[in-house]
Amino acid sequence: MTTNARPAIDQLDTTHAAVVARAKALAPILAEHAAESEAQRFVHPASIAAMKDAGLFRILLPQLVGGYELRLRTMSECVTAVSQACTASGWALLVVTAHDWIVGMFPEAGQREVYADSPDALVAGGLATQGRAVRADGGWTVSGRWQFASAVDHSQWLIMGSTIETSQPDDPKHVHVVVPTSDATIDDTWFTLGLRGTGSKDIVVDNVFVPDHRAAFTGTLFGGRGDGVDLHPTNLYRTPVLSGLALHLASATVGIALAAQQRFIDQTTGRAHAYTGKAIRESVGLQMRLAESDAEIRAAQLLTFDLCDQLSDAADSGEPADNMLRARTKWQAAYITQLCRRAIDRIFQASGARGVHDSSALQQLFRDLNTATHHATADPDAAAESYGRMLLGLSPGTYLL
């Protein structure tokens, strides 16, 4: 008797090629639920389940707790592929894999506790230091409100940045903690221009105790020097956090741009001019717009691959990333998002009056991409200034690297 049942998740092939192939194969089911994710303003449970079944949430998870611990290139290609099929799903994947990767830098006891029930436990949260933390016996007491907790409706844990309330000038100023989602209140504030399906709601925590093994000082953590980096067989967790986060975001914007370009091509084929009746695709101006946008998207994708290589090579060296690498990779990631934005802005202008309707998939992708470029890690002005200063032999300035 034959069966078409998929292998259990623990029996899946974990090579780069196999994982990327599974991510691409999810396109039909993710696309099927994309509109409902947009309407309900959080990722459809079936899409989350499909990504879990394909092992995608294990890509950057440490082997120590049942993950694949693959390279950044695998994450990048999978986030791009998923984002092409469904922006909300791609965003959830980039956020969760980023948080898995960061938790891999925490003390061993913290890592084991977070993934004790399942390697597929999802970690949402807010990495910006929006809350406050007070030292307590054996840990911290944390309170505050954090915005942009993408995929929080599906999460079991939350990672959050907090400012430490201390009177000692030489003490660390910030700490990141991980708490159960059950210790937080989810406040549905997610009414936005784009990325509506990501469910990036606010989370509120009031005087929650966090033990030391689920806490890490931000400066050490973000520098790739967390307590957990030496626990793993790879150097993946030595990558500076802000550079890695910028790569995650850039990978998603490439996927959104590729999807928007294909939508434009599909809707332009067979479309006639409203007044002349001529085929729109015969327009030389439109052809030139499409050609230029295609070059920008291709360039963005190649720059993304290069960014993966730079960060992986630096981690493999075992040496801490210097400011030049951090500034260059953050600027490169920001530039990738701007290339994608410019590419889609250009062709959206040629999409015709029908493109402005909410029912237009191209309009949604246009909104999603422009919203994504507002992410803090994609600030092109600050990133360009910092890298430009470094090229001229100056300090990187006040921009956080």
Listed residues 68, 85, 108: the one ending a domain = 108
371 part of a folded domain? yes
- Write down the residue that tokens 């994309």 correspond to: 34
Listed residues 77, 108, 139: the one ending a domain = 108
CATH number for position 77: 1.10.540.10
- Reading the block at residue 189, the tokens are 């504030």
Cα gap 254→31, rounded to integer Å: 17
Question: Among candidates 218, 209, 208, 220, which has minimal Cα distance to 138?
Answer: 209
113 part of a folded domain? no
My answer on whether 290 and 385 are in the same domain is: yes
Contact assessment for residue 161 and residue 176, using Cβ atoms and an 8 Å cutoff:
yes
Residue 2 scores a pLDDT above 60:
no
- How much is the pLDDT for 1? 36
Question: Among candidates 44, 23, 78, 24, which has minimal Cα distance to 304?
Answer: 78
Q: What is the pLDDT of residues 193-226, one digit of tens each?
A: 999 999 999 999 999 999 999 999 999 999 999 9
316 part of a folded domain? yes
CATH number for position 193: 2.40.110.10
23 part of a folded domain? yes
* Position 374 confidence tier, pLDDT thresholds 50, 70, 90: very high
* Position 88 confidence tier, pLDDT thresholds 50, 70, 90: very high
My answer on whether 78 and 18 are in the same domain is: yes
My answer on whether 142 and 255 are in the same domain is: no
My answer on whether 302 and 387 are in the same domain is: yes
DSSP 6: P
Listed residues 81, 108, 135: the one ending a domain = 108
| CA-based max dimension of the chain | 77
Q: DSSP readout, 23-68?
A: HHHTHHHHHHHHHHHHHHTS--HHHHHHHHHTTGGGSSS-GGGT--
Q: What is the pLDDT of residues 254-273, one digit of tens each?
A: 999 999 999 999 988 888 78
My answer on whether 245 and 380 are in the same domain is: yes
- How much is the pLDDT for 7? 63
Segment among 27-41, 78-92, 316-330 with least mean pLDDT:
316-330
226 part of a folded domain? no
Q: What is the pLDDT of residues 93-112, one digit of tens each?
A: 999 999 999 999 999 999 99
Residue 361 scores a pLDDT above 70:
yes
My answer on whether 368 and 246 are in the same domain is: yes
- How much is the pLDDT for 323? 94
Question: For residue 308, how many other CB atoms are within 10 A of its CB?
Answer: 21
364 part of a folded domain? yes
Q: What is the pLDDT of residues 291-315, one digit of tens each?
A: 999 999 999 999 999 999 999 999 9
My answer on whether 363 and 289 are in the same domain is: yes
- In sequence order, the 6+-apart residues with CB closer than 8 A to the CB of 392 are none
Number of separate domains in the chain: 3
Over range 308-329, report the average pLDDT: 93
My answer on whether 260 and 387 are in the same domain is: yes
My answer on whether 84 and 37 are in the same domain is: yes
- How much is the pLDDT for 6? 53
Q: DSSP readout, 295-332?
A: HHHHHHHHHHHHHHHHHHHHHHTTSPPPHHHHHHHHHH
Contact assessment for residue 129 and residue 161, using Cβ atoms and an 8 Å cutoff:
yes
Cα gap 235→212, rounded to integer Å: 24
Residue 5 scores a pLDDT above 60:
no
257 part of a folded domain? yes
Residue 343 identity = A
Q: What is the pLDDT of residues 129-170, one digit of tens each?
A: 999 999 999 999 999 999 999 999 999 999 999 999 986 788
- How much is the pLDDT for 358? 86
Cα gap 65→232, rounded to integer Å: 10
DSSP 167: S
My answer on whether 267 and 342 are in the same domain is: yes
My answer on whether 30 and 54 are in the same domain is: yes
- How much is the pLDDT for 275? 75
My answer on whether 188 and 319 are in the same domain is: no
72 part of a folded domain? yes
How many residues does the structure list for the chain?
401
**What is the average pLDDT score of the chain?**
94
Enclosing domain of residue 18: 11-108
CATH number for position 247: 1.20.140.10
